[in-house]
């Protein structure tokens, strides 16, 4: 392998045409450990010349890969999935060092990459078309599914391996080539996926991996006539910008953007048990999860015991280095996130919110922040309208479910929403009325390779995962055939 996840100051190069290489400009930028802000490696910086090489490679590879049968594509992905599992320990350790999440969570993420590849491998064998009856004697109509072409994909640092795996697996299974701009803050997950694909025998150019300066890379790739499809996971502002660039080229997009998930907790559930589940979900990955539950609306009849348990659970969390087996929540991934979380909390407190626990940075080295719980938050506070993307929970009581639902839907986001209830009537109510792409009822587990993942409103459009994940990389072609 071209890298060793256990070596300090390791380099993370570009992969172009199955060759690991430095950027042609010779520039490298540091990778920091969020625990202590030390330099633990470097990533290469792609130049325009490097991007043009990747584009040419992807174009040439697509012309042959699209004709490879779905079974052969599936075998390639499944072989890569097996290699990912073999290397899961070292990849998980590298992920934790770069991104900060506890090692057990990192291991789950790496294993999820293998599942994503395996699912895409099997689902790619079932991209069926159809025969259409014709009213013209002798005329045969068919509608087939064909790979859309070379893809440009952009993935974030919060789940640096699994977000990439979903795009890579679906694109390759559909018969597309793909250029991925991975996350510079945490690049090793993508490097590990790339190496597994190379070792599994993926032909040169089917998958290319670049790092560098995101605006320069995205603008150049999206503008290229070679690229036929855009897939992006990240913030709403960046997603809107990239969607605009793609629209100017009439290129289809999958946009998986931010969220600000509401949680309705009805009065017929156990407040203590539910609060423990809710708190564990909120502080997973230090709240840096696009589907993270954040705005908890709890029925007034169980509000106080819910808040008391939630706060106690937050206070008991062990915050520290993700490589420590005792750690339950690691640091925020970078200094930008720490500053943003501090600003959102300060705004809420300045407007009169009540701080139940947390609220501050931990220490002055590393990007640690306390698990934070706010109540009595005024409607004008930023935390109710902007995705906090950190370890912040806002809890409020409700008495009327219609009013609570109106409050739940009162943001520009629509990615995930949750409810806890023992009533089938209330379950049906929230399933129908939540304005979101995904709904969890009595569970916070809504992600998986088997199901469609995505949102509505400003949380984006298009889906990853499930049948829809493959469909995003296919185009429908009608063929009308009149025999001679």
Q: In CATH, what number is assigned to the domain containing residue 160?
A: 3.40.605.10
User: Do 105 and 187 belong to one domain?
Assistant: yes
- Residue 7's pLDDT band, with cuts at 50, 70 and 90, is very low
Task: Report pLDDT for 1.
Answer: 45
What is the tens place of the pLDDT at every residue in 222-235?
999 999 999 999 99
Instruction: Give the pair of three-digit tokens for residue 64.
Output: 């042959």
Half-sphere exposure of 82 (CA within 13 A, CB side): 8
Q: Catalogue the active-site residues.
A: 256, 290
Q: Are 234 and 290 contained in the same domain?
A: no
Mean pLDDT of the chain: 96
Q: What are phi and psi of 354, to 5 degrees?
A: -100, 125
Please return the burial class of 407, using the count of CB atoms within 10 Å of its CB with bins 0-12, 13-18 and 19+: middle
Residue tagged 């793909």 (tokens):
178
Does 195 lie in the same domain as 278? no
Q: Which range marks the domain in which residue 358 is found? A: 261-448
366 plus 274 within the same structural domain: yes
- For 353-395, the pLDDT digits (tens) are 999 999 999 999 999 999 999 999 999 999 999 999 999 999 9
Q: At what angle do helices 188-199 and 162-174 cross, to 10 degrees?
A: 30
Neighbours of 305 (CB within 10 A): 15
Verify that 424 and 464 share a domain, yes or no.
no
Question: What's the number of CA atoms in the CB half-sphere (13 Å) around residue 230?
Answer: 31
Whether residue 409 lies inside any domain: the answer is yes
Residues 440 and 466 in one domain: no
Domain assignment present for 202 = yes
Residues 99 and 242 in one domain: yes
Residue 2 lies in a domain: no
Mean pLDDT of 184-199: 97
- 319 within domain boundaries: yes
Q: What's the pTM value of the predicted model, to 2 decimals?
A: 0.95
- Regarding whether 226 and 173 lie in a shared domain, the answer is yes
- pLDDT (0 to 100) of residue 4: 54
Residues 252 and 206 in one domain: yes
- Convert the pLDDT of each residue in 28-66 to its tens digit: 999 999 999 999 999 999 999 999 999 999 999 999 999
Residues 195 and 128 occupy one common structural domain? yes
Q: How many domains are contained in the chain?
A: 2
Q: Are residues 464 and 321 in the same domain?
A: no
CATH number at residue 426: 3.40.309.10
């Amino acid at each position: 392998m071209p890298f060793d996840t256990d070596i300090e100051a390791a380099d993370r190069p570009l992969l172009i045409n199955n060759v690991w290489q430095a950027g042609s400009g010779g520039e490298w930028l540091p990778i920091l450990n969020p625990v202590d802000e030390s330099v633990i490696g470097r990533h290469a910086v792609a130049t325009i010349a490097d991007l043009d090489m990747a584009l040419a490679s992807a174009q040439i590879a697509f012309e042959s890969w699209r004709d490879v049968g779905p079974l052969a594509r599936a075998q390639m992905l499944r072989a890569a999935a097996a290699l990912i599992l073999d290397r899961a320990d070292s990849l998980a350790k590298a992920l934790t060092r770069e991104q900060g999440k506890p090692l057990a969570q990192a291991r789950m993420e790496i294993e999820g990459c293998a599942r994503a590849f395996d699912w895409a491998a099997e689902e790619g064998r079932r991209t069926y078309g159809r025969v259409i009856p014709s009213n013209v004697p002798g005329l045969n109509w068919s509608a087939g599914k064909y790979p859309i072409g070379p893809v440009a994909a952009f993935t974030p640092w919060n789940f640096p391996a699994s977000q990439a795996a979903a795009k890579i697996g679906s694109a390759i299974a559909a018969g597309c080539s793909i250029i991925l701009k991975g996350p510079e803050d945490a690049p090793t997950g993508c490097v590990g996926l790339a190496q597994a694909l190379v070792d599994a025998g993926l032909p040169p150019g089917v998958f290319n991996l670049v790092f560098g300066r995101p605006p320069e890379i995205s603008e150049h790739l999206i503008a290229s006539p070679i690229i036929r499809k855009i897939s992006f996971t990240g913030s709403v502002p960046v997603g809107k910008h990239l969607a605009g660039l793609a629209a100017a080229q009439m290129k289809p997009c999958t946009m998986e953007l931010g969220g600000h998930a509401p949680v309705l907790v009805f009065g017929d559930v156990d407040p203590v048990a539910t609060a423990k589940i809710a708190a564990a979900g909120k502080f997973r990955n230090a709240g840096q999860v696009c589907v993270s539950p954040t705005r908890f609306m709890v029925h007034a009849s169980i509000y106080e015991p819910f808040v008391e348990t939630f706060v106690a659970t937050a206070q008991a969390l062990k915050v520290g280095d993700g490589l420590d087996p005792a750690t339950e929540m690691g640091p925020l991934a970078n200094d930008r996130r720490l500053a943003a979380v501090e600003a959102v909390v300060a705004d809420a407190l300045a407007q009169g919110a009540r701080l139940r626990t947390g609220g501050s940075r931990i220490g002055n080295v590393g990007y640690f922040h306390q698990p934070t719980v706010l109540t009595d938050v005024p409607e004008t506070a930023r935390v109710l309208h902007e995705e906090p993307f950190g370890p912040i929970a806002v809890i409020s009581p409700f008495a009327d479910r219609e009013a609570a639902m109106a409050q739940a839907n009162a943001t520009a986001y629509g990615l995930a929403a949750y409810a806890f209830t023992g009533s089938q009537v209330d379950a049906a109510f929230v399933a129908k009325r939540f304005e979101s792409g995904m709904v969890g009822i009595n569970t916070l587990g809504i992600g998986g390779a088997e199901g469609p993942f995505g949102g509505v409103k400003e949380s984006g459009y298009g889906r990853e995962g499930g049948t829809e994940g493959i469909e995003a990389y296919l185009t429908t072609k009608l063929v009308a055939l009149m025999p001679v």
